Amino acid sequence: MVGVVRLAAEAVADNSEWMAWNLMLALVPLLLACLLFLHRGRRTVAWWLVLGTFVAFLPNAPYVLTDVIHLVDDARTTSSDLVVSLALIPQYAAFFLVGFEAYVLSLLLLGRYLRRTGRARWVAPVELGLHALCAVGIHLGRFDRLNSWDAVVRPDALWNGVVGLRPAVVLISFIAVGGCYVVMKAITIALVVYARQYGRPALPQS
């Protein structure tokens, strides 16, 4: 049993560094969404620059789902089924949940902003457009190893990656991101409604 615990700890530690980096990138768009879409002032030049940064970093959030390939590799190279079931799967599940939930919350904040500013009819088209953008970003990140900042520092590599896109891969990514978003959005909204209804402290009886 001690050996299993040691193997589990080593497996979790081996993934911690790259998972932390990918989660940090996934949380950037959520932070920017809070700055942008909770803002009630005028849309200045700085606001539009932050919006551009938000769009550039947004694919990092659903990108975490593609890291399932590392779970498959880890499961194949780990000699203990207990390590896989009790350490790796929970670790990856938490990683996927946090990363993709950042995407869901970012789009929910954007949708609320559009409704508040009288653009409710834009919500669905904008969501679909961002799903498509993220599908392209996932392709560029996974296959061309490009990052969000390459739009500025390596525009030529970004252009070559866009030219070399594989439509079938982009379509599959779009369906996966859109499908997961619909499910996680429904769960998130249900939890928010539940918390609002039942999370309030009871009023003292007079």
Is residue 139 one of the residues assigned to a domain? yes
Residue numbers of the domain that contains 141 = 2-198
Give domain status of residue 47, yes or no. Answer: yes
Q: Could you tell me the maximum CA-CA distance found in the chain, to the nearest angstrom?
A: 71
Inside any domain, residue 67:
yes
Would you say residue 120 has pLDDT above 50? yes
Torsion of CA 135, 29, 125, 157, to 10 degrees: -40
Average pLDDT (177-194) is 95
pLDDT digit string, tens, across residues 126-168: 999 999 999 999 999 999 998 999 888 999 999 999 999 999 9
Structure tokens at 43: 């849309």
Give the total number of structural domains in the chain.
1
pLDDT for the residue 203: 46
Residue 162 counted as domain residue: yes
* Contact of 98 with 25, CB cutoff 8 Å: no
Query: What pTM does this model have?
Result: 0.91
Please measure the distance between the N-terminal and C-terminal CA atoms of the chain and give it in whole angstroms: 57
Instruction: Determine, yes or no, domain membership for 84.
Output: yes
pLDDT mean across residues, the chain: 90
Distance CA 28, CA 110 (A): 15
Do the domain assignments include residue 135? yes
Within 10 angstroms of residue 82's Cβ, the number of other Cβ atoms is 13
Look up tokens 């909204």; give the residue: 189
At residue 112, the pLDDT reads: 96
Tell how many helices (H) and how many strands (E) occur in the chain: 10, 0
Residue 203 forms part of a structural domain: no
Buried b (16+ CB within 10 A) or exposed e, 1-35: eeeeeebbeebeeebeeebeebbebbbbbbebbeb
In tens, the pLDDT along 38-94 reads 988 889 999 999 999 999 999 999 999 999 999 999 888 887 888 888 899 999 999
In which band, very low, low, confident or very high, does the pLDDT at 200 lie, cut at 50, 70 and 90? Answer: low
CB atoms within 10 A of CB 150: 18
Residue 56 CA to its chain's centroid (Å) = 13
What percent of the chain has a predicted confidence (pLDDT) above 90?
Answer: 71
Could you tell me if residue 194 is inside a domain?
yes
pLDDT at 206: 37
